[in-house]
């Protein structure tokens, strides 16, 4: 019984603290959304690095993306996965790279992905804060 009372007091204290510090609540919400977005982006990296499953066309496209990444020196390593995670997170926050807003309100962003041996044009498609897909292009394509 005593522990229940203590837990309720703690909960009331935490609630009171959060209600009197709205900036903290906003910060926690932003951090939670960022964490969710990064987790989903990390899952999408498997697709970029040729590890897609499902229909044959998806697998072929995934392998082509891996080939393009490797052509500019971005191989499937923990360091490069972290690099791409941060890169995609930066694309999300950059509002200067929007090239199209579709009728369904998806946003297409354009960027230049730099590897150790070259660069690729990357287009990303976002719905709110969710990365839908990406396209890699080499040269003038």
pLDDT, residue 27, reads 57
Average pLDDT for 2-13: 51
pLDDT digits (tens, 9 = 90+) for 28-62: 555 556 566 566 787 889 999 999 888 999 999 99
Cβ-Cβ contacts under 8 Å for 110 (sequence gap 6 or more): 97, 99, 121, 122, 123
Q: Binning pLDDT at 50, 70 and 90, where does residue 2 land?
A: very low
Q: Binning pLDDT at 50, 70 and 90, where does residue 1 land?
A: very low
pLDDT digits (tens, 9 = 90+) for 68-124: 999 999 999 999 998 998 899 889 889 899 999 999 999 999 999 999 999 999 999
Q: For the purposes of burial, counting CB atoms within 10 Å of the CB of 91, is it exposed (0-12), middle (13-18) or buried (19 or more)?
A: buried
pLDDT, residue 6, reads 45
CB of 118 closer than 8 Å to CB of 73: yes
Distance CA(74)–CA(95), nearest Å, equals: 25
């Amino acid at each position: 019984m005593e522990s229940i009372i203590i837990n309720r007091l703690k909960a009331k204290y935490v609630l009171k603290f959060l209600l009197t510090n709205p900036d903290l609540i906003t910060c926690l919400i932003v951090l939670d959304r960022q964490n969710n977005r990064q987790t989903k982006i990390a899952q999408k990296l498997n697709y970029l690095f040729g590890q897609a499953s499902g229909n044959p066309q998806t697998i072929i496209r995934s392998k082509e993306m891996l080939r393009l990444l490797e052509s500019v020196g971005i191989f499937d390593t923990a360091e490069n996965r972290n690099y791409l995670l941060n890169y995609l997170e930066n694309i999300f926050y950059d509002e200067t790279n929007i090239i199209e807003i579709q009728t369904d309100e998806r946003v297409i962003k354009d960027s230049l992905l730099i590897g150790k041996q070259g660069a690729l044009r990357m287009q990303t498609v976002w719905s709110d804060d969710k990365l839908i897909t990406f396209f890699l292009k080499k040269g003038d394509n």
